[in-house]
Structure 1
Amino acid sequence: MNPFTWSFRAQFLLGFVACAALLSYALYTQHYGGLLPCPLCTFQRGAFVLLGGVFLIGALHAPRGKAGRAAYALLALLAAAIGTAIAGRHVWLQGLPPDQVPACGPDLSYMMEAFPLLDVLRKVFTGSGECAEVDWTFLGLAMPAWSLIWFVALGLWALYAGYRSRKSIFR
């Protein structure tokens, strides 16, 4: 069965399942593997939740018109672009030479309680030493690099699902 010929609903449902699986694995590594997420990892998880939510709503709604499918595709692309930017920044921080890595700061929960939201966002995207640590790799890539790959792939998948031509009204 070729997923490239599936209905819009099935293609968006597959996108949702991919996001749910990625988030499940992240939670598994946190609770059973002992890998605590840094602030940028937490923001990437939020982007996967947002992207998965768009995929799920699009799958449940399953618009028949081109405009509706395109709207969901663009919303998913926006969520994927946000995740790509966060993961890209994380990959960049991990690639810095050790002497240029920013110092470690407080954890995200403390910052959310103690600082205004804009200060928290600025501190998170500036990065900290804990975001530059590589604790997990698969095929030579760290988790933020895999997140980056998945955000790009899921964004392209949403565009394909939203803009591909359909031969019948039921596809």
Structure 2
Amino acid sequence: MNWLTAAPRRVLALISVACVAMLAFGMYLQHVVGLEPCPMCIVQRYALIAVAVFAGLASARGNKGWWMTFGVLAVISAGFGAFVAARQSWLQWYPPEIATCGRDFYGMIENYPISRSIPMIFRGSGDCTAIDWTFLGGSIANWSFIWFTVFGLLMLVLLVRGLRGGQRGGGLSMA
């Protein structure tokens, strides 16, 4: 674990770069392979963007308050992304008896108030239950859940170590 806490800014920057790489791969799957993202996939993309931005901002400055604040926001974003990916994985493993294709993400947001759109997104649609791509037996939602969880846990370790270091008078070196 020394490599993790020896240079937390580098770890946060690596998380940010990994998120951007995942987003690029999602764009490849959409625009080159031809897979259309479902509403839950779009929400996961937004969560991935939030993790990338917050982890990048956390790695940008050595000020402890700065990186801790943005680190917490990145952990929250990763947790939200993991929740959405877990919900989509559940829908893929146990599809509802009546699965409709429903509206796309933007159609929901444009035509319904947000208080009605959010439950519609998490209810999923026929698109959300489809498994169009797999790698090593896991769907995109499964892999998203794993990576959101890994990113969240790495950032949690950094935050806990940062808090403990501050209580002892030391602290993590933000090299």
TM category, shorter: 0.7 to 0.9
Letter in 2 for 1:94: Q
Deviation at 1:100, TM superposition (A): 2.0
C-alpha deviations, 1:10-46, integer Å up to 9, x for none? Answer: 1110110011011110011101010110000000000
Partner of residue 87, structure 1: 85
Cα contact 1:69–1:163 (8 A) shared by 2: no
Cα contact 1:76–1:155 (8 A) shared by 2: yes
Aligned-residue identity in percent: 34
Matched, 1:105 2:113: no
Gaps of 5+ in 2: none
Partner of residue 146, structure 2: 149
Deviation at 1:8, TM superposition (A): 2.1
Quickly say closer, same or farther: Cα 1:42–1:4, change in 2 above 3 A: same
Deviation at 1:78, TM superposition (A): 0.7
Quickly say closer, same or farther: Cα 1:20–1:169, change in 2 above 3 A: closer
Gaps of 5+ in 1: none
Q: Distance in 1 between matches of 2:37 and 2:74?
A: 24
Q: Distance in 1 between matches of 2:108 and 2:171?
A: 52
Q: Distance in 2 between matches of 1:16 and 1:114?
A: 33
Q: Distance in 2 between matches of 1:68 and 1:38?
A: 35
Q: Distance in 2 between matches of 1:37 and 1:13?
A: 27
Letter in 2 for 1:4: L
Q: Distance in 1 between matches of 2:17 and 2:174?
A: 22
Cα contact 1:101–1:128 (8 A) shared by 2: no
Map 1:37-52; keep pairs closer than 5 Å: 37-52=37-52
Q: Distance in 2 between matches of 1:102 and 1:17?
A: 36
C-alpha deviations, 1:36-65, integer Å up to 9, x for none? Answer: 1000000000000011111011011232x3
Cα contact 2:5–2:172 (8 A) shared by 1: no
Extract structure 1 runs of 4+ deviating beyond 6 A: none
Map 1:156-171; keep pairs closer than 5 Å: 156-164=153-161, 165=165, 169=173, 171=175
What is the aligned length? 167
- Aligned-residue Cα RMSD (Å) equals 2.1
TM-score, normalised with respect to structure 2: 0.86
Cα contact 2:19–2:49 (8 A) shared by 1: yes
